[in-house]
């Protein structure tokens, strides 16, 4: 028999899914925080989804800032 799934694990998975669909930053952070230390597959899935979302968010932010710098947005400040 399998072990019962905790409510933290379920919440982690829900926030991990919501991170991609509705709550960008908050969902990813909550998925990681709630999924940390969970042993069930559901908790681990939420944890992984949260980290994937945060990594993608950081990558997109970096690309946007680098593009703005290259395109000359910095010259308007001078």
Q: For residue range 27-51, what is the model confidence (pLDDT) as tens digits? A: 999 999 999 999 899 999 999 999 9
Q: Which of 43, 45, 46, 53 lies closest to 21 in space, CA to CA?
A: 53
Tokens of 28: 């990813």
* Interior angle at CA 6, CA 5 and CA 11, nearest 5: 110
Backbone angles phi, psi at 3, to 5 degrees: -75, 150
Place of tokens 């908050």: 26
Write the pLDDT tens digit of every residue in 58-67: 999 999 999 8
Give the whole-number percent of the chain exceeding pLDDT 90.
Answer: 67
Q: Which of 14, 7, 5 lies closest to 46 in space, CA to CA?
A: 14
Tokens of 1: 């028999």
């Amino acid at each position: 028999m399998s072990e019962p799934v905790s409510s933290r694990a379920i919440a982690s998975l829900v926030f991990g899914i919501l991170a991609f669909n509705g709550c960008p930053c908050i969902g990813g952070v909550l998925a990681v925080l709630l999924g940390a230390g969970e042993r069930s597959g559901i908790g681990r899935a939420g944890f992984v989804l949260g980290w994937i979302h945060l990594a993608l968010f950081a990558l997109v932010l970096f690309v946007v800032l680098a593009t703005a710098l290259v395109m000359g947005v910095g010259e308007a400040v001078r």
